[in-house]
């Protein structure tokens, strides 16, 4: 494993941290705690925004909801789209106001939203999975991946158990996703102009390595995938052809999702979880649930503005 320096970026202890998003207009990091039903926003110092010199921050603003919240995309300077156990919502960060946008399996108490990300064409991909506390047991095969774009909803992939790793190639011609319980990552061709799914998905990464457990993922500017590995205490980078490039150790067993941010997008922020850990494990992992950061040579890509509910032209 690579011995890169890992820093404590945001000094919180999430039960199930997820959905990190660097908001390009606010220059802040947003992320969720699924089980505490909270969205956090961390606002960084001028030193970090200009030079990358990181000072550990508290999560300076919290937005509470009435059910689990998991994935985010930015809409404008003051608003983000949020997926929840009920549907999709607009959160006005300046006014702490929620507006409902669309239902998402709201009539099914057995599921909640999980992973999600905005594609290069502005469509919001979001998955659902069984609504269980923690990550130790899932109802099999009831998860789905949807795409919302310009007021329309598409059902992309069904029969999943723990859908994760939703991310997109720099050109927007490939989408990636996984079912964590199947220990592989898949890819599918997409239309760069519209983001539409094209053809059948194919296996992208499949390994016989024991315990390979992919969770959230993000693509860097070189087209390589950075994948958080739940229960394994590390992130791995895979090239656009699926070859392993690097594995970086982190001081928590449950990293959940990476996101690029900061000046020049060279800082990889990593959410993590403390659910499912015993008292002894928590004592050995004092940073479990925190947001960590590693500085990288290859930058990431700016997250596109979400156009899920823009009117079709």
Q: What's the CATH code of the domain at 238? A: 2.120.10.30
Q: What is the mean pLDDT of residues 280-284?
A: 96
User: Which residues does residue 248 pair with via DSSP β-bridges, in sequence order?
Assistant: 2, 235
Category of 95 on φ-ψ map: left (φ > 0), alpha (ψ -120 to 50) or beta: alpha
State the residue range of the domain holding 245.
Answer: 7-295
Contact in structure between 266 and 295 (CB atoms under 8 Å):
yes
User: What is residue 98's predicted lDDT score, i.e. its pLDDT?
Assistant: 95
> Which of the pair, 46 or 195, is modelled with greater confidence?
195
- Distance CA(189)–CA(196), nearest Å, equals 9
Residue 303 belongs to some domain of the structure? no
Query: pLDDT tens for residues 95-129?
Result: 999 999 999 998 888 899 999 999 999 999 999 98
Contact in structure between 114 and 273 (CB atoms under 8 Å):
no
Residue 52 belongs to some domain of the structure? yes
Residue 159 belongs to some domain of the structure? yes
Q: What is the mean pLDDT of residues 247-271?
A: 96
Residue 307 belongs to some domain of the structure? no
> Which of the pair, 168 or 183, is modelled with greater confidence?
168
Q: What is the mean pLDDT of residues 262-270?
A: 94
**What radius of gyration do the chain's Cα atoms show?**
18
User: What is residue 137's predicted lDDT score, i.e. its pLDDT?
Assistant: 63
> Of the candidates 308, 253, 261, 241, which has an alpha carbon nearest to the alpha carbon of residue 285?
253
User: What is residue 135's predicted lDDT score, i.e. its pLDDT?
Assistant: 52
How crowded is residue 159: how many other Cβ atoms within 10 Å of its Cβ? 11
For residue 181, what pLDDT band results from cuts at 50, 70 and 90? confident
> Of the candidates 220, 238, 218, 190, which has an alpha carbon nearest to the alpha carbon of residue 301?
220
Q: How many domains does the chain have?
A: 1
For residue 7, what pLDDT band results from cuts at 50, 70 and 90? very high
Contact in structure between 40 and 31 (CB atoms under 8 Å):
yes
Of 60-64, 73-77, 237-241, the one with minimum mean pLDDT is: 60-64
- Is 92 exposed, middle or buried (CB count within 10 Å of its CB: 0-12, 13-18, 19+)? middle
How much of the chain, in percent, has pLDDT values that exceed 70? 96
Residue 300 belongs to some domain of the structure? no
pLDDT of 133 above 70: no
pTM of the shown model: 0.95
The three-point CA angle 20-134-183 to 5° equals: 75
For residue 136, what pLDDT band results from cuts at 50, 70 and 90? low
Residue 69 belongs to some domain of the structure? yes
Residue 302 belongs to some domain of the structure? no
């Amino acid at each position: 494993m690579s011995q890169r320096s890992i820093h404590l970026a945001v000094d919180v202890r999430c039960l199930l941290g997820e959905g990190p998003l660097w908001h390009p207009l606010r220059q802040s990091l947003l992320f969720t705690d699924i089980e505490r039903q909270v969205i956090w926003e961390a606002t960084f110092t001028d030193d970090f925004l200009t030079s990358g010199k990181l000072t550990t921050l508290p999560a300076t603003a919290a937005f509470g909801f009435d059910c689990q919240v998991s994935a985010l995309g930015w809409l404008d300077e003051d608003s983000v789209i949020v997926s929840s156990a009920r549907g999709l919502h607009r959160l006005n960060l300046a006014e702490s106001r929620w507006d409902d946008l669309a239902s998402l399996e709201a009539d099914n108490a057995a599921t909640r939203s999980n992973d999600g990300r905005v594609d290069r064409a502005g469509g919001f991909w979001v998955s659902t999975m069984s609504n269980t506390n923690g990550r130790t047991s899932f109802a099999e095969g009831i998860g789905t991946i949807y795409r919302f774009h310009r007021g329309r909803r598409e059902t992309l992939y069904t029969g999943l158990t723990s859908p994760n790793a939703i991310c997109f190639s720099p050109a927007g011609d490939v989408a990636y996703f996984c079912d964590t319980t199947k220990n592989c990552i898949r890819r599918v061709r997409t239309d760069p102009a519209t983001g539409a799914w094209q053809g059948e998905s194919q296996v992208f990464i499949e390994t016989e390595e024991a315990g390979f457990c992919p969770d959230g993922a993000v693509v860097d500017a070189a087209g390589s995938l950075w994948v958080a590995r739940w229960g394994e205490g590390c992130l791995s980078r895979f090239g656009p052809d699926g070859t392993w490039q690097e594995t970086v150790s982190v001081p928590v067993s449950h990293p959940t999702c990476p996101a690029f941010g900061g000046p020049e997008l060279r800082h990889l922020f990593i959410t993590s979880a403390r659910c499912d850990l015993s008292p002894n494990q928590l004592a050995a992992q004092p940073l479990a649930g925190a947001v960590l950061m590693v500085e990288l040579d290859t930058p990431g890509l700016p997250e596109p503005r979400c156009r899920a509910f823009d009117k079709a032209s």
